[in-house]
A and B are shown apart, each in its own frame.
Chain A
Amino acid sequence: MGESAFEIAINCVKLVLVFLLMVQMVPVLVWLERRGSGFIQNRFGPNRVGPLGLMQLLADAVKFLTKEEFVPKAATKLLFYAAPVFALLPGTLAFSAIPMASPLKWGEHTFLIQGYEIGVGIVFILAISSLAAYTILMAGWGSGNKFSLMGALRASAQTISYELALGLSLVGVIMMYGTFNLTEMIHAQEGAMQFQAFGFTISSSLLPNWGIFYQPLAAVLFFAATFAESNRLPFDLAEGEAELVAGFHTEYGGFKMLLFFIGEYGHMMVASGLMATFFFGGYNIPWTTTEQVYQWALGIVGSPDWASALSSAVHFAMFFAKLAAFLWIFIWVRWTLPRFRYDQLMDLGWKTMLPWALANTIITAVVVFAVSQTW
């Protein structure tokens, strides 16, 4: 493959950095969630430890770390311990595949600002996230508790049901871009709105060239399905407190619980990153192209290496802003919408979202076909 030791080392460092970024985001998100819920519900939230309660993160970490290690007697030890470790995997592997900024060209090297570039990006991410069901089942069965088992069963049935709507809503998106590759999708969304129809080129400087303007229904379906995939409210039937205690992680505490937390927030970050990538231009700044930003950076710093670095940094900030916006919506929804009933949840997935996703596929196919005809 002609890979030097230097490139391999850089790739490994990059992957570890992406993972650490993900792990570091978790306490921040927990803090945001608690402060945000306080804000939404007109109360304070954590505000005692440090300025704005920010040191609460540290206090929580210490608390998690010093909790008594506990395994119930009925548990299957191997699965009970393996489940929280595996909970980290799907989120990390999927998040590493999302491009976070324009490539950094330094001398003869080109560094992609993402864990790894996968040719069939969407398929890879769907494949990895479909493995998340195992974590839930392992934890639920391994705990040796009927609440955990029921919670795991409900959670996995819910996850797989919404995977259908999720997968199907992406068919229209793939059709629009004609590729599985996330980087190519982001390139297709550069600049102001411009598309080909009936042999004419139609452009509008009012809107950015984002996927959501071509696939609004897919965006709504996808976002709703990701809520269910990451077991967040209003889809957190797996842990209906009234009937199932805390679902599949009833018996977990301390650091094992924290690993599940990282897994759940990892799912949220993947979902937010994918929303940004598919429908909101990825790391692109609205109305501009990567090239324009590079030229602008070149005008400021002069040397092409530093210009590339600056444009990567700007794009990274933009991606992060989009990611944060979607993460906030996740938190906002949690404290706004009540939980569904289980039959409502299944009805929504199978009888509402799946038919709509099918309709979206058919409409997109017909429109793409009709628009490509020249008169």
Chain B
Amino acid sequence: MTADIFLFWLLASVTLLSGVGVVLVSNPIYSALCLAMTMVGVSAIFATLGAYFIAGVQMIVYAGAVMVLFVMVLMLFDLKTEIATFSRGRISGAIKIAIVGLLAGLIAGTFAMTTTIAGKPETKEKAGHAAKSLGELLFTKYVFGFEALGVLLLIIAIGVVGLARSKGGTHAKH
């Protein structure tokens, strides 16, 4: 089992380091790339737990879609002035420290409340079966939530278009 433990520590440290990088790096683009790296690391940790499908989804949706959007948006702004207003100054510094304190409190609280660590699920060698049982659960027990999610995504799609064309911009109504 030593290889497993080594892998876990390696992935955990990579994930945490890139997570810390998100906060500490002053250039927003590097920050976003660090966040993407964190997502990849989280997905790899899912894979060590045997949740291969979830690992893939984490990578496709977060690393491959959400973070691509973030990076794309950041790259198109003039970042020089934003960096200055965003990363210097007392108020933003105070906010940062407050957020770090809050997070530290949350983590400490989690550690204090967790007494046992749940054992690893036994599905490790049956990657395909995990996805299959997920599908079966999704369409029997949680079918209502699933349909609600479809509606939610539809509403978001409509809202996005509404926002994009509301005022100014290339999509504005004439």
- A residues adjacent to B (C-beta < 8 A): 1, 3, 79, 118-120, 123-124, 126-128, 130-131, 133-134, 137-138, 140-141, 149, 152-153, 156, 160, 163, 179-181, 184
- List B52-109 residues whose CB lies under 8 Å from chain A: 52-53, 55-57, 59-60, 63-65, 68, 71-72, 75-76
Q: Is B72 a contact of A119 with CB atoms below 8 Å?
A: no
Q: Is B76 a contact of A153 with CB atoms below 8 Å?
A: yes
- List B121-172 residues whose CB lies under 8 Å from chain A: 126-128, 131
Q: Is B68 a contact of A120 with CB atoms below 8 Å?
A: no
Given known contacts A119-B52, A179-B128, is B64 in contact with A133 (CB within 8 Å)?
Answer: yes
Q: A120-B52, A141-B75 are in contact. List 9 more A-B contacts (CB 8 A).
A: A120-B131, A123-B52, A126-B60, A127-B57, A134-B68, A149-B75, A153-B72, A153-B76, A181-B128
A124: B residues at CB distance < 8 A:
52, 56
| Interface status of B29 (Cβ within 8 A of chain A) | yes
| Interface status of B34 (Cβ within 8 A of chain A) | no
- B residues adjacent to A (C-beta < 8 A): 1, 3-4, 29, 33, 36, 40, 43, 52-53, 55-57, 59-60, 63-65, 68, 71-72, 75-76, 126-128, 131
Nearest-Cβ distance from residue A178 to partner chain B, whole angstroms:
8
A181: B residues at CB distance < 8 A:
127-128
Q: Is B64 a contact of A130 with CB atoms below 8 Å?
A: yes
B127: A residues at CB distance < 8 A:
118-120, 180-181
Can you list 20 A-B contacts with CB-CB less than 8 angstroms, sorted by A residue number?
A1-B1, A118-B127, A119-B126, A119-B128, A123-B56, A124-B52, A126-B60, A127-B60, A127-B64, A128-B59, A130-B60, A130-B64, A131-B63, A133-B68, A134-B36, A134-B71, A149-B76, A160-B65, A179-B128, A180-B127
Tell me the nearest residue of chain A to B126, going by C-beta: A119
Q: Is B36 a contact of A127 with CB atoms below 8 Å?
A: no
